[in-house]
A and B are shown apart, each in its own frame.
Chain A
Amino acid sequence: GGSGPVGSAAGDGAPPAPGRVLFPPTFSVSEIKNKQRRHFMFLRWKQQQRKEKLAAKKKRRKEREALGDKAPPKAIPKTIENQRVYDETTVDPNDEEVAFDEATDEFAPYFNRQTVPKILITTSDRPRGRTVRFCEQLSTVIPNSHVYYRRGLALKRIIPQCIARDFTDLIVINEDRKIPNGLLLSHLPDGPTAHFRMSSVRLRKEIKRKGKEPTEHVPEVILNNFTTRLGHSVGRMFASLFPHDPQFIGRQVATFHNQRDYIFFRFHRYIFKSEKKVGIQELGPRFTLKLRSLQKGTFDSKFGEYEWVHKRREMDTNRRKFHL
């Protein structure tokens, strides 16, 4: 119908100059049947778009310069963090309810300096070399931690034994196909249990420009970006792994940085070169965690009461919504 005569007008080998032929407004490049011509028209359309865009940019810049001081402020580019869906459980620093909750939850004795953390690190059955070495390095990073070889023991039996021996936390590193891929962190006397998926694990020897081994000093802890209520409780869990009083002489810092629901763990040694400049050197292993589930009591997969479970169908669909 309409594109027939137009097509013939446009096609004689090389299409005529754009000024001469006027296409009807409902015409689109994709309607041309001939692939070569269609491709050519598309390229031309693209060039035109680019020119227009460049011209618009120049014009805007000129206007901005012309206005000088009165120019409207530059538009802030949209990032995922900017566009994040506001989570209603975001913690307000002055919230009294949250403060009250935290004073009475399972970590209160730690934050009141009544208990000293003592950590047990273990793996799943038959760990391969990489996992074993990772466990050792992790135990050097976390002070007052012990690595025990798991010999087919059931977790439900280990936990009462740990409580009897005064351990405060239990870390189980799950292994699959010779690489560690899961982390279970359980606060022992009846505390919450968090199950994480672990990825990009780098041992010390794989880190470039690493320094010497981490010393025995108690490191500082940095927890970044734990904003929601859930993030807050997870952050406190991490904080309770380390003794409360860091030794600043050691100049070591362990960082848990949450970004878009991925928690990045890094271990650095820092030095203040001047008052405004600090240098950091990465020692120690690094890994990233993604929270899979948070359970109220200690590890119990069947009868446990889950505070939060990652539901893929509901939670992964929205790209701007994060839960930690």
Chain B
Amino acid sequence: MAEGAGGAAANGGSDEKVLDFLDSVDSYLTTMESLAPILRQGWFDLASARHSMGVFRVSSASLDLKDHSASTYLQMVGHESDDSFVGQPSFSLCKWASADNKSCCSEEEIPDSQLRHRGTSRLSENQEQNSNGDDSLKTVDDLVKKERAKTLSVFGTLVSPKLRTAQLSFETALEVLVEAANIRSSMLSAYSQVQKQMEDTREGEIGPIP
């Protein structure tokens, strides 16, 4: 009876892990499917902008090759090191960081050792200030608008609204990609737990080898 109850609990736990895995697979597939139309819209908006502003104005020749800090970077927390698995990796996007403003839209701390950036952008005390109150939200909005405009300024400062729409589409696509990476990470973690569970169950059934 006790063994039956224990077995039922173990099965319930196993089923829960499998369900978690299936849920995460479903989320991953849904997220990846949502990415393609966003990218399509971004490319279409870019073509509209080239049509509006002229193909000679919106071209790869306008892109800036000077050394400059990244305006957006990816933070990864939790990774496999040599012998230990620190935790399932999670990714977050720090958008529109600026060397001038020294602030970022993300609220998370970014450990310097894990950063990949070329410039001097780093979080400052301003982050705490920016997370509070409507005034600070407006400040963040203004900063974001300014950074967006700065990125597009390679094509000129008076650009068509279609180019700004294209920028937003690709920004959204980047967010979806990071979200997909996080879901994939949790999916792989759930899978490894299911696998471990199955191995434990198999060992339990076979028993110790004499």
Pairing of A with B: no
